[in-house]
Structure 1
């Protein structure tokens, strides 16, 4: 018998008090539905403008099976294209970044200028009537936000500027436009559904249980907020010296960031943009983190750190200690969310209750159920439901 969607009472949805069912964290068809509903329209950060300051410098991003190149042209403009030759579809470049005079396909030698125009075709006489002006690289929508460059595969979602608009006043003093990379992009493949990682990022209740270091740094003052398109989290460093040497040294050595308001000079601030991009904002540096879905049970965590130029020894030490502290936090999170992913695969798991303080998880679940009604089901619909829903739409 076909499973039916539960009726919704617009006055009070009983599912608001429940987390999402476990099948959503492992079902391949639901992953297809997510791509169609919002993942392809979600802005994805590629890099900071300072990383491609000179003409020909480029960075790449692999997302949902598509490879995107962001490159600075000879005119100084930054553009985004799919990493696909218009001749036979070969990838043009490999790796995460570089600098080129022209983008030359390694398969047949077709070449493209830094603005994406087709400028070189070997054996040109073999293509009578070839309209080179129509065979430039395929452009991808690009958004600049405070120095960071975002791309989207499809239209339909809110821009980063729209999502972060309510926090403009808070973000501006951090001078994102002046940031410079202090590390390299790291890619951490994980055998996890992207939502397992995203849920954990905005979960406040696990901090005192799973992160003793953060608890020593923040005490019980960690706060979370759920907004329309953004989750906001924060913790203020306590004055009580930590028993951990790295944490205690960070508390002691962190210098004054005089460009920040006093309220934020010892604050760790986090923003998670719907659905899978996050910014970790510290007084000493700024990191971005993406949860790049690969399949229903595979995700790549992509991240890099940036900072304002500051040669103070205390600041250099604080940034190193920040890395040490958060390396431990990442290891703790990896263990925690792996356990969750394993438990979600059990047929005995039923959606658990959400506490009144779990506002970010509530917001996430509500949004997912609204965008994909099948998320309201306790079990997956009969096989092929995504194809049927596509035909119906």
Structure 2
């Protein structure tokens, strides 16, 4: 079987065009994209410190699946489908918890934290049952710099570590492994296709047009670049005092982070991982966001925030750091509202019969990189108009 990601960086004959509008609304294309792009991709679940003790678990729900990441009695982190092997009942509810065993609330089948089926009421009533063959369905797990990722299928794509390798040296000083969650999982539904969230995240040209606050903070320092599997955006906090109260507070009171080099003290970094995850990295905290598809035209944003625990922060700066984090939140709440307004209107425009694909600038390197990978995985994405219904069920040409 050919490597699905082979030659993904070869020249794209459609490089000067954006992805066409029908890819952001079409139900048939959506199903293909979920199978070829999202199911084989890594998705963050939590930080390893969030499941520190045996039996601690976190869940993530997406693409009609629910996945449990749980620490076993042996200390190992594993992931399983949140589905009882008997009658498909969900084993656990909610984003997190702790359990010595995973006991189905329907018929009380019991599973160990390593996934083994260990208890079945009226076991003799099931003549075909073999306990060893009916453990929980496993899901791939990767722990990268303390963060726990899962993927539903393996089609030969890169690991998280491989994707992030070009920037691993830049991330190392932030001590991701020592981070602790300071804001639990938040879910925010948006009336947009998932790609519109990611396109906007990596779009450099809209910053000076639509984000006055970021422009005041960064001046002309905002920059982007694209590696094969990760985009990088960055901006340095300028010395010119902002006339906005929260921006000015952040500029004035951001304390020195002793664990960071001088060049990073007032630097905001953004890394977008293929295909739908991003780290927002500040000297004061780290935010994580992923945009999970719900339907062709709706998505849910899943967010968490992390920081080094107080033990790593001098006592006289803890209160100041908390206030700075609040200012950070106030600044980015405005940015998020601006982005929501933008992407919802772009989504509406994608449904217009007048729109096919738009020309894409040479400087829009992140959008080019993303579109190239989509076209490689789904060749029909090159067509500016949707093909006749049923195209996904016809034999693929090798």
The residue that corresponds to 1:259 in the other structure is: 259
Say whether 1:371 aligns with 2:377.
Answer: yes
Report if the CA contact (8 A) 2:166-2:227 is conserved: no
Matches within 5 A, 1:120-139: 120-128=119-127, 130-139=129-138
Matches within 5 A, 1:20-31: 20-31=19-30
The residue that corresponds to 1:186 in the other structure is: 186
1:103-158 CA-to-partner distances (Å, cap 9, x unmatched) read 11111111111111111111112123531111111110100000000001110221
The residue that corresponds to 1:171 in the other structure is: 171
Matches within 5 A, 1:305-320: 305-310=305-310, 312-320=318-326
Say whether 1:326 aligns with 2:332.
Answer: yes
Q: CA RMSD in A?
A: 1.5
Match of 1:362 among 354, 361, 368: 368
Residue aligned with 1:173, SS: helix
Offset of residue 12 of structure 1 = 7.1
The residue that corresponds to 2:282 in the other structure is: 282
Partner Cα distance (2:289, 2:263) in 1: 24
Report if the CA contact (8 A) 2:12-2:372 is conserved: no
Q: Check 1:160–1:358 CA distance in 2 against 1; reply closer, same or farther (3 A cut).
A: same
Residue aligned with 2:118, SS: strand
The residue that corresponds to 2:83 in the other structure is: 84
Report if the CA contact (8 A) 2:22-2:356 is conserved: no
Partner Cα distance (1:362, 1:167) in 2: 19
Matches within 5 A, 1:172-251: 172-251=172-251
Q: Check 1:277–1:12 CA distance in 2 against 1; reply closer, same or farther (3 A cut).
A: closer
Once superposed, which parts of structure 1, at least 4 consecutive aligned residues long, lie more than 6 Å away?
Answer: none
Match of 1:338 among 335, 341, 344: 344
TM-score (norm: length of structure 1): 0.95
Match of 1:349 among 342, 350, 355: 355
1:314-334 CA-to-partner distances (Å, cap 9, x unmatched) read 111111111111111111100
Report if the CA contact (8 A) 1:223-1:235 is conserved: yes
Partner Cα distance (1:279, 1:11) in 2: 27
1:285-327 CA-to-partner distances (Å, cap 9, x unmatched) read 1111101011211111100000001352211111111111111
Q: Aligned residues, how many?
A: 383
Report if the CA contact (8 A) 2:21-2:351 is conserved: yes
Report if the CA contact (8 A) 1:368-1:375 is conserved: yes
Offset of residue 246 of structure 1 = 0.5
The residue that corresponds to 1:298 in the other structure is: 298
Matches within 5 A, 1:142-181: 142-156=141-155, 157-181=157-181
Offset of residue 201 of structure 1 = 0.3
Partner Cα distance (1:366, 1:11) in 2: 9
Offset of residue 13 of structure 1 = 5.2
Partner Cα distance (1:277, 1:95) in 2: 21
Match of 1:382 among 375, 384, 388: 388
Residue aligned with 1:272, SS: strand
> Gaps (5+ residues) in structure 2?
1-8
Q: Check 1:385–1:346 CA distance in 2 against 1; reply closer, same or farther (3 A cut).
A: same
Residue aligned with 1:94, SS: coil
Partner Cα distance (1:127, 1:133) in 2: 14
Partner Cα distance (2:172, 2:148) in 1: 17
Residue aligned with 1:305, SS: strand
The residue that corresponds to 2:50 in the other structure is: 51
Report if the CA contact (8 A) 1:32-1:386 is conserved: no
Residue aligned with 1:185, SS: strand
1:271-297 CA-to-partner distances (Å, cap 9, x unmatched) read 001110111111111111101011211
Offset of residue 63 of structure 1 = 1.7
